Amino acid sequence: MNNGFITVAAAIPAVRVADCQYNTDQIIAMAKQAEQQGAEIVCFPELCITGYTCQDLFREQTLLQGAQESLHRICQFTQGREITLIVGLPIEENNRLLNCAAVVRQGEVHGIVPKQFLPNYNEFYEQRWFSAENRPMLFEQDGVRFGIELCEDLWAPEPPSTRLAIAGADLIFNLSASNELIGKNAYLRSLVSQQSARLICGYIYSSAGYGESTQDVVYGGNAMIFENGQLIDSAKRFSYEPQLVVNQIDIHLLRTERRVNTTFTASQRAYEAHKHFNEATLISISTPNSAQKQDISHSSLPTPHSSLKETNFTFKRIIDPLPFIPKNDKMGESCEEIVNIQTAGLARRLDHIKAKTLLIGVSGGLDSTLALLIGVRAFDRLGLDRKGIIGVTMPGFGTTKRTHNNATTLMEALGITSREIDITASVRQHFSDIGHDESQHDVTYENCQARERTQILMDLANKENGIVLGTGDLSEMALGWATYNGDHMSMYAVNGGVPKTLVRYLVSHIANDEPNEQARNTLRDILDTPISPELLPADDKGEIAQKTEDLVGPYELHDFFLYHTLRRAETPQRIIFLAEHAFDGHDPLASRYDRDTICHWLRTFYRRFFSQQFKRSCMPDSPKVGSVSLSPRGDWRMPTDASASLWLASLDSHAS
């Protein structure tokens, strides 16, 4: 284990049917490769010691004896090694032949798991040779629990893995020999993905490949590693070479997800009522001679962050630095779905209150641009005249020519009503009223402008019998980067569920489909404009001087922190570890950050996230578009006076 990750492997050796010695040589060779790559547990295919396609040779005592001798060789190989092998072989027991998986570690067989469901239809005739056996077993290695099922077990209406996971198995290993048919692989992947997601577990699947008999069917070799429904790694099918897939499963994450998912915990309580299930065998394989039968009850389950043995290993996982951004192959589809969610939310609100007027403060920045584009879509969907959208530019002390021109040009191109109200004089009057020195560019100087703009929009909404559309995004609410009762407030916050890193992609997506060339060109220039509230005067060249990310930190880092704090409940230690790997330069879309920079801005994130909850406690309605939301009425309920000291202390202890 390292920061909650365990290294697992799915191996597909080349086999010769009924040649146990050759097959064992291949298994040991692949086990050595897996060991060199840091694998802690390796899963091999079903009946890999003999080959799956031996047919009536399974009746031969010579083959069964050869399999037993091979298992002994594999035990000898593991002696003194920190690696667990799960291999498939036929085992004779009480005059029955069982299709089994053997768990081997430190020179011992710690458990034998028989196949529970034997296929006997179409091309399968397993009941001709084997007997079925229901023998629930759970293995524990260095604080991690795993269970095993064999091929057809997964295809049953209630797979054994369901009960094993509910009993506490973090990982499920499947030894399989599934032949290839048109469309079968896609269905199989869906099946494994769904089981992994349903059980909130890691699922490691290894299926027979090259060397199995092709007399009537073909085995393509299929190795897959899933984590909570997501494919982490897989092998190339139909390879003439052995296939080894080694990767890491995040045990800490799985246990956190289970703890949060009350349906999963309710299922645990329901299954505890079944006495036969509570009599399952729990076997510790961390040390030799430790097999023991225990009652599998809720009280014996590992806690979400129970002690896990730490080992040195090479981290193999690719951590996405931009977790809110859809992947390339689904970028357009996902962006359109998000835009449709926003549009549907706003359209429903307008229809409900019978409003035909929408007020938007248009600054020429990304957030207000996205809000305006969603407003236009909602009006088009409702069949309303775009002139009912009133975009208001409110230039002040920090407004630049570039953003002002982009705002007015975009409104003209989209065919909405455009108004301009300069706030300079009114804000100066307010400075005079409250006795503020205009030369003091402090928080009062900035917030007076933000609140003046909100007052104008609210009053115009009353005058025009409309509503104010909020432009602030999810990232700003997480950091509290909004003026309380200023841009913080609106009558519907259409971007409230959209993180800052995603806003850019949504605007770009809409721009690509925009038929009006003037609007399209303006949107592209807005995409190239630095993020700024424009509350401080421009520089000597008239350019933006106040750049948000220089002050509060890079949004790509903060969105990463936000995702892993809220969605995955990660500790500061784990966030540092994950961020170091995510922002190591492997992703061309993300910047590179060193550990000191990550820790610096993570401290800023925690400090602001805790101190600014009061703004989120009274945030306006906004549509949820992804797995992370800060709505006080839905996903996130937090006391406004909660202390960040525990998080900051943990950060400090792991920062160096």
In the three-class reduction of DSSP (H, G, I as helix; E, B as strand; rest coil), residue 71 is classed as: helix
The neighbour count for residue 134, using CB atoms within 10 Å, is: 11
8-state DSSP, 104? E
Q: Which of 115, 140, 514, 556 is catalytic?
A: 115
Told to judge if 48 belongs to the known catalytic residues of this protein, a careful annotator would answer no
Considering only the C-alpha atoms of the chain, give the largest distance between any 2 of them, rounded to a whole number of Å: 101
Structure tokens at 421: 């109200």
What string of H, E and C letters represents the secondary structure of 559-604? HHHHHHHHHCCCCHHHHHHHHHHHCCCCCCCCCCCCHHHHHHHHHH
Element housing 632 (H / E)? none
* Bridge partners (DSSP) listed for residue 284: 140
- Cα separation of 187 and 607, whole Å? 47
Told to judge if 115 belongs to the known catalytic residues of this protein, a careful annotator would answer yes
- Cα separation of 625 and 345, whole Å? 10
- Cα separation of 51 and 45, whole Å? 9
Q: Which of 151, 335, 448, 599 is catalytic?
A: 151
Cβ pair 139, 145 in contact under 8 A: yes
Q: Which of 46, 514, 534, 570 is catalytic?
A: 46
Cβ pair 325, 338 in contact under 8 A: no
Structure tokens at 41: 């547990």
Residue with tokens 């605007």: 507
Structure tokens at 406: 């982009």
**Is 150 exposed, middle or buried (CB count within 10 Å of its CB: 0-12, 13-18, 19+)?**
buried
In the three-class reduction of DSSP (H, G, I as helix; E, B as strand; rest coil), residue 252 is classed as: helix
- Cα separation of 606 and 645, whole Å? 9
Phi, psi (deg, nearest 5) at residue 627: -80, -10
Q: Per-residue DSSP letters for 398-439?
A: T--HHHHHHHHHHHHHHT-EEEE---HHHHHHHHHHHT--TT
Query: How do beta strands 358-361 and 467-470 pair?
Result: parallel
* Bridge partners (DSSP) listed for residue 103: 86, 111
Residue with tokens 């060199």: 36
Residue with tokens 């100066």: 428
Angle between helices 366-382 and 500-513 (to 10 degrees): 50
The neighbour count for residue 214, using CB atoms within 10 Å, is: 11
* Bridge partners (DSSP) listed for residue 112: 102
Counting every residue written for the chain, the total comes to 656
Told to judge if 151 belongs to the known catalytic residues of this protein, a careful annotator would answer yes
- Cα separation of 424 and 182, whole Å? 70
Query: Would the CA dihedral through 301, 302, 305, 306 be positive or negative?
Result: positive
Cβ pair 453, 421 in contact under 8 A: no
How close are the terminal C-alpha atoms of the chain, in Å? 21
- Which residues are identified as catalytic? 46, 115, 151
